[in-house]
Structure 1
Amino acid sequence: MKFLEFTTLDSINLFLNDLNLGESTIKGSLEAYSCKPTSVDRRISDNLEHEILDYLSQSADSDPSSPVEYLSRRSSRRTLIYLVLTLGHMYPDYDFRAVQAHLFFTEEEWDSFRQIFDTYLFEAAKEWFQLNGGSLLECLEKAIDEVIKLEECEVYSYNPDFDGDPSIENGAIWSFHFFFYNKKLKRVLSFRCCCLSNLAIDGLPDEKMLEDEGVDDGLFIDMDM
C-alpha cells in the first residue's frame, strides 16, 4: 500500500483538518492509497490470509451473522485484507486482525454516506458555504469521484466498538469512517471524521462538563455513541 497525493483533496482536507464550531471541533481527512503491496504488505497479507483460512477450517458456525460465508469467498477476503492494510497504514501502532475487523465493516451505498453527511456535517456545510460558496457535499462527491470513480466503487463503513476505535480522541462526541474501494484502479480512499468537545479539549473534567450543563450522568447509561 502506498499513500497517494491528490491536489483535488487538499482544499477539503485543509477545511476539515481543525474546524472550530464554537462548542466543538471537527477533524476530518481524505486519504488515498494504492493497493500495490510493498514487501511488508505482502508478508502481512499472507499472515492475514492464513489467519482467515485457519478460522474457516476451525469454524462450524452456521449462524448467518458469522463471517464464515463472507470470508469463504476469495474476492471478499482480498477486499477485507486491503481495507485492513489501509487501516494499518493509517494507524501503524494498532493491531488489526482480519476476522475481527470484518465484524466492524458494513457494505454501504452512496446514499448511506449522504445520510451520515446530512446528520453530522450540516454545521460544517454551513461554514463551507460561507467561506467558499457552493455545497460541501457536492465538492466532496466530485473530489472522491475524481480519485476513485464512484460508479465503480464498493463503499464500506467502519464501525468498531467506541472504546476500540483507534481514531477516537479524548472528548469525542461522534465519529464515522468510510472506505471507497475500486478494484479496477486497485485503490482505496478513506474518509474519516470525528467531532470533539472543545470543553474536553481545553481540559475541563467530564464531571464538571456535566455539572455545568445540568446533565444527569444516568442519561448516558447504555447510550449508543
Structure 2
Amino acid sequence: MKFLETPVLEVLNSALNFETPECKVLGRIEPYSCKAAGADKKLYKQLESKYDPSSQNLSPPDDDGANIMNIISPFGPMNQPASRKTLFYLIGTLNASFPDYDFSDTKPEQFRKEPSVSIVVNSINATLLNHGNERAVKELGIWDAIDQLIDLEDSDVYSYNPESDSDPNDEEGGGTLWSFNYFFYNRKLKRIIFFTMRGVSHGVPTSEDGDEDDGNFSNTDDDNDGVGHRRKGRDMDEDDYDDMITEDMDLQ
C-alpha cells in the first residue's frame, strides 16, 4: 500500500490529538493508494495460497466437513477474487499503518462491513463531540476533506475489531479506554482512508509521547490466532524498504 502525502490532513491530524479531563485522545487519518510494494507481494501470495480454490495449499475440511471456501466473509465469499482482494487491501493498510506489527494472519471475521457511511460518520462525530472536540467536526471540515480524497458516497466502510489483548492501539499493555479502526474504501479510485482513534488513560506512556520501546511486548507470539502481533524482525533494512519502488500489481 502506498501512503499518500496529503498536506490538508496534517492540520486535521493535529486536531485529533488532544486531552480531556478523562483521557488523552490520539487519532489519525491516513490515505493509501491500493498499490503494492515488495512487502505486499508476499502478503498477496500468502492470502491467495490460503483462500484461492485453485491453490494446492487449501486448508482441509474441518470436523463438520466444511471447507474454508464456504466462509461468507464481510467482503463476500472468500472463493471470489474480489473478496480476497478486499481482505488483502485492508490487511496491507494495517501493516502500513502499524509497521511494528504483522497482520498477515488476520482472519476475515475480524473485520465488519458497516451498514452505511453515514452511520460511521455520525458515530465518529459523536465521539469527537462527546470529548469536547467541536473544532474538528464544525470548524475544520473533517468530512469535506475526506470526501475530496475518496468520495464518501461511492465508498464502503469496514471496521477492524481485534481482540482486546492484541489491539495495536493498546501496544503499551494497558490504559486504552476505547478505540476504533475504520477503513473507507473506494473500489473505483482504488484508495483507502484509514481512520483510527483511541482514548488513553492519563499517566500511561504512549509512543506519541516519544518514549522508547523497552522491548517488552505482549504480542510476540507467532501463534496468536490471526491477530496483529509484534514483528520479531524486519525482512529488510528500513532504508531499503523506503527506497523500494512502488508498483501496481495485477490482482484481477
What TM-score comes out, normalization by structure 2 length?
A: 0.68
Rounded to whole Å, the distance in 2 between the matches of 1:34 and 1:62 is 33
Rounded to whole Å, the distance in 2 between the matches of 1:127 and 1:80 is 33
Q: Relative to structure 1, is the Cα distance of residues 10 and 93 closer, same or farther in structure 2, using a 3 angstrom cutoff?
A: closer
Aligned counterpart, 2:128? 121
* Amino acid corresponding to residue 202 of structure 2 in structure 1: N
Work out whether 1:180 is the aligned partner of 2:184. yes
Deviation at 1:201, TM superposition (A): 4.7
Report which stretch shifted further, 45-54 or 143-152: 45-54
Aligned counterpart, 2:138? 135
CA contact (8 A) 2:169 2:176 kept: no
CA contact (8 A) 1:6 1:147 kept: no
* Amino acid corresponding to residue 15 of structure 1 in structure 2: A
Aligned counterpart, 1:193? 197
CA contact (8 A) 1:153 1:180 kept: yes
Q: Which runs of 5+ in 2 are unaligned?
A: 207-252
Aligned counterpart, 1:160? 162
Write the mapping of 1:64-79 to structure 2, written as runs, cut at 5 A. Answer: 66-67=71-72, 70-79=77-86
Deviation at 1:158, TM superposition (A): 0.9
* Amino acid corresponding to residue 195 of structure 1 in structure 2: G
> Alignment RMSD, CA only?
2.7
Rounded to whole Å, the distance in 1 between the matches of 2:185 and 2:43 is 19
* Amino acid corresponding to residue 169 of structure 2 in structure 1: S
> Match of 1:49, SS?
helix
* Amino acid corresponding to residue 101 of structure 2 in structure 1: Y
Residue in structure 1 matching 2:118, options 86, 111, 127: 111
Rounded to whole Å, the distance in 1 between the matches of 2:25 and 2:78 is 35
* Amino acid corresponding to residue 82 of structure 1 in structure 2: Y
Rounded to whole Å, the distance in 2 between the matches of 1:21 and 1:145 is 28
* Amino acid corresponding to residue 135 of structure 1 in structure 2: K
Rounded to whole Å, the distance in 1 between the matches of 2:103 and 2:66 is 22
Deviation at 1:67, TM superposition (A): 4.2
> Match of 1:160, SS?
coil
CA contact (8 A) 2:150 2:193 kept: yes
Rounded to whole Å, the distance in 2 between the matches of 1:123 and 1:40 is 39
CA contact (8 A) 2:146 2:152 kept: yes
* Amino acid corresponding to residue 32 of structure 1 in structure 2: P
Work out whether 1:21 is the aligned partner of 2:53. no
Q: Which runs of 5+ in 1 are unaligned?
A: 203-225
CA contact (8 A) 2:117 2:155 kept: no
Higher helix share goes to which structure? 1
Q: Relative to structure 1, is the Cα distance of residues 179 and 173 closer, same or farther in structure 2, using a 3 angstrom cutoff?
A: same
Rounded to whole Å, the distance in 2 between the matches of 1:159 and 1:140 is 24
Aligned residues: 194
* Amino acid corresponding to residue 141 of structure 1 in structure 2: W
* Amino acid corresponding to residue 159 of structure 2 in structure 1: S
- The Cα offsets for residues 147-182 of structure 1, whole Å up to 9 and x where unpaired, read as 111112111111111111112243110000100111
CA contact (8 A) 1:2 1:34 kept: yes
Rounded to whole Å, the distance in 1 between the matches of 2:175 and 2:66 is 39
Aligned counterpart, 2:237? none
- Identity between Structure 1 and Structure 2 (%): 35
Deviation at 1:89, TM superposition (A): 1.1
